[in-house]
Amino acid sequence: MGAESALSYECGTGDVRLIGETIGDLFDRIASADPGREALIVSHQGIRWTYRELAERVGVFARGLMALGVERGDRVGIWSPNWAEWVVTQFATAKIGAVLVNVNPAYRTHELEYALRQSACSVLIIAPPFKSSDYAGLLGQVVPEMAWSRPGNIHSETVPALHTVVTFGDQEVVGALTWPQVLDLAAGVSSEQLAARQESLQFDDPINIQYTSGTTGFPKGATLSHHSILNNGFLTGEREVLTADDRICIPVPFYHCFGMVLGNLAAVTHGATMVVPSQVFDPLETLETVAAERCTALYGVPTMFIAELGHERFTEFDLSSLRTGIMAGAPCPVEVMKQVQDEMHMREVTIAYGMTETSPVSFQTTIDDPLEKQVETVGRVHPHVECKIVDPETGRTVPRGETGELFTRGYLVMLGYWENPEATDLAIDAARWMHSGDLAAMDDEGYVRIVGRVKDMIIRGGENVYPREIEEFLYTHPKVSDVQVIGVPDDKYGEEIMAWVILKPGETADADEMREFCSGRITHFKIPRYWKFVDDFPMTVTGKVQKSLMREQAVAELGG
């Protein structure tokens, strides 16, 4: 091993070239190549469209948006769970060069106002009410002027750029246009005008803004280009060995990269079929859809797979059509991975890692990686991507096997945070390395293991403790279903270790039993001092555990 290879640096190589097209051009090429193939199935809407039918709907809606006055570079927001209209909007905005602003369906008035104002959204598309989210009602609180505005002519004091709201589904809202009305407007724009607009676009243009949920302050709008998300979807699908015959079940949200890039763009770049089981994740509806539609790929975070495997009706469904998929967003316990491969037939499931700011995937396992690599690492760096692991104190690249902060560089790095150069400069350095904030270690083969967040690392009495290591050990306890480890303030050691545990159904345990299980099996200073038994963890909409909220709650309960 030479001096260079001894350092934690890798450059991903591959046999496939990057795609040098806009999303609209790629979509048209794929749709015309096999127009009769099923493109989009949305179970909860009863929709089943071929590529020809999807392309027709995308084209009409794109012309409708142009008729509303949407220009290249204008921001068009969508605030919705997973509907067919979301997919149509994604490709229609790409064809006309409008920047799609993904608004988190869980947002309430304060966050909504910020996202619309910060992005200067001119058009907002909203879904019908769903569960506790009345999108039109919440928007009316932010933009009360809708109540006396003509559709398409809103003048809002709080969100001055917004002039048009479009609704879909079975709803009519005062001051808003309906989806069919926008389709009717398309008659005023010719196909030639749409083609001319599409031809004027460049693949490096910004096309998508995704607001990241920061732990402090307001969310930041990661701005992604055609080039970054189109190629990331394509290369992620390549690691799954997708073909036009694949049918991808997408229960993860479209507003997040997992749904719209790894789901929709991975499918379309391979001419595969997008299958949407429900508006938001539901384990039963996902299982029903996989079986009914003979899906070959399934996506989710580990908690979703755990919910599917643990469902009381799990054994009723024939999942034998499944082959591959993506598990991402959090580490996968080894026992869960074994069940996914054996009981769900996903022998070729891949683990993916990344961040919204990198479009999102930078690392992924391959379909033939051994089990230990799938559960202990996030795979190797993607083609056309560089990575290095850096000592956070010195900024120097660390030797292989040592822990540091993970940096990535390449086509996948965002253009920046929308209208926020200060935050951009903190995230992307002068050499265009994206700083992940994740602690990682690289082995001699180039596989990377994520140890935790830089800010999640626990320093107990001068010892660096990585929560992931303790979590992996505690997963081996036969009564444990899920576990999260956090650090809490301590006067003597600086920080102490706390474990939150979800037990398997019907099981009981206490702190003494857990400590006894740890004793003699992990280093004494890694044994949690505090134990909390819970039914669930605080989660984001995308299924990520919110350790910051756990810490706040723990500090309040412990009186720290």
pLDDT 10s digits, 156-202 = 999 999 999 999 999 999 999 999 999 999 999 999 999 999 999 99
Q: How confident is the model over 453-475, as pLDDT tens digits? A: 777 878 787 777 878 889 988 99
User: Could you tell me what percent of the chain has a pLDDT over 70?
Assistant: 98
* pLDDT-based confidence at residue 217 (cuts at 50, 70, 90): low
Cβ pair 439, 422 in contact under 8 A: no
Q: How confident is the model over 244-265, as pLDDT tens digits? A: 999 999 999 999 999 999 999 9
Cβ pair 488, 456 in contact under 8 A: no
**pLDDT for res 108:** 87
Residues near 143 by beta carbon (within 8 Å), at least 6 away in sequence? 154, 156, 158, 159, 162, 165
Compute φ and ψ for 449, nearest 5 degrees. -110, 125
Average pLDDT of the residues of the chain = 94
* pLDDT-based confidence at residue 110 (cuts at 50, 70, 90): confident
Q: What is the pTM of this model?
A: 0.87
* pLDDT-based confidence at residue 560 (cuts at 50, 70, 90): low
DSSP structure class, residue 265: I
Cβ pair 504, 474 in contact under 8 A: no
Structure-token pair, residue 283: 């384990």
Whether the per-residue pLDDT at 5 is higher than 70: the answer is no
Question: Which pairing describes strands 38-42 and 530-533: parallel, antiparallel, or unpaired?
Answer: unpaired
AA identity, residue 227: H
Whether the per-residue pLDDT at 303 is higher than 50: the answer is yes
Q: Domain limits of the chain?
A: 50-220, 458-558
Can you tell me whether residue 495 is helix, strand or coil? strand
**pLDDT for res 216:** 47
Compute φ and ψ for 21, nearest 5 degrees. -135, 160
Rounded CA separation 257/272 (Å): 18
Q: Report how far Cα 72 is from the mean position of its chain's Cα atoms.
A: 26
**pLDDT for res 534:** 97
Cβ pair 137, 173 in contact under 8 A: no
Of residues 520 and 169, more confidently modeled: 169
- Count Cα atoms within 13 angstroms, Cβ side, for 36: 0
CATH topology of domain 50-220: Rossmann fold (3.40.50)
CATH topology of domain 458-558: GMP Synthetase; Chain A, domain 3 (3.30.300)
Q: How confident is the model over 345-394, as pLDDT tens digits? A: 999 999 999 999 999 999 999 999 999 999 999 999 999 999 999 998 89
438 to 49, 74, 232, 257, 435: CA distances (angstroms) = 40, 33, 20, 18, 8
369 to 197, 298, 302, 364, 372: CA distances (angstroms) = 44, 18, 18, 10, 8
User: Could you tell me what percent of the chain has a pLDDT over 90?
Assistant: 83
**pLDDT for res 215:** 44
**pLDDT for res 386:** 98
* pLDDT-based confidence at residue 214 (cuts at 50, 70, 90): low
**pLDDT for res 158:** 96
